[in-house]
Amino acid sequence: MKVAVAQFAPTADVPGNLAVIEEMTREAAASGARLVVFPEESMIPSEATPSLRESAVAHWAGFREALTRTAAAHSVAVIAGGYEDSGASLPYNTLVAVDSDGAVLGQYRKMHLYDAFDYKESREVQRGENGPCVVRIGDFNVGLVNCYDLRFPEFTRSLVEMGADLLSVSAAWVRGPLKEDHWTTLLRGRAIENTCWVVASSLTTPACIGMSMAVDPLGVVRAALGEESRALFVVDVDKDRIDTARTVLPVLRNRRIIIGPR
């Protein structure tokens, strides 16, 4: 299955951001992609609005609806992130996965909030409690990962326990000392330890690194971007590579501590 990974720099202009998503989805579809992955905060970056709650109330429903129209118009599945109205004082940081016919496959509300490196996401966002989310796209079970989730190996392992063989990471990975190295190391680590594909998209706003990437089940980087403000790549993900990895490196079978139902 061909998967496109897109990175761009959204602004306070939500309709403008949706226009970019539509254009990049069209480009992905023209390249034969069955799925295109966009970053966290594709709807609007947190620094671009004085009130995430007001932005969520004003824009979430329209953002989600626009994603369904875009996916159906180009017959390609879409994963992207925005801020969802929670009905409370703080919104959710939510990823939505839409099938190629425009049907919403699932939503994942970010569970691990970025309270690290002198930042406090929990002051702006309500923690999601609806658990990890895996959706079916083509022949793959796709686990949804939102940025800081990547630092928690038990989270991605729980997605694999739920059947995920492709991890889709949407991020706004913030710049800073060692952060680029952490991003690359964690993406490759999650792929290697779970012997699964990892595709990851990050914002390219001034605060974020870009560096979107696809890693195969043995940790080989198959495609990557740098700091390009707006770009995408298309990578072929295949089940044979998973089978090979899990034959030569049967870590999932060799475990002695199991997370979740036995």
Please give the positions annotated as active site: 40, 110, 147
The conformation of residue 259, written as its DSSP 8-state character, comes to: -
Contacts of 163 (CB under 8 A, 6+ apart): 134, 141
DSSP for 145-210 reads EEGGGGG-HHHHHHHHHTT-SEEEEEE--B--TTHHHHHHHHHHHHHHHHTSEEEEEE--STTB--
CB 224 within 8 A of CB 212: yes
Pairing of strands 140-146, 166-171: parallel
CA–CA separation, 160 and 45 (whole Å): 29
Nearest residue to 24 via CA among 234, 167, 188: 234
Q: In Å, how far are 7, 14, 42, 70, 74 from 20, measured between CA atoms?
A: 10, 10, 10, 11, 14
The conformation of residue 9, written as its DSSP 8-state character, comes to: -
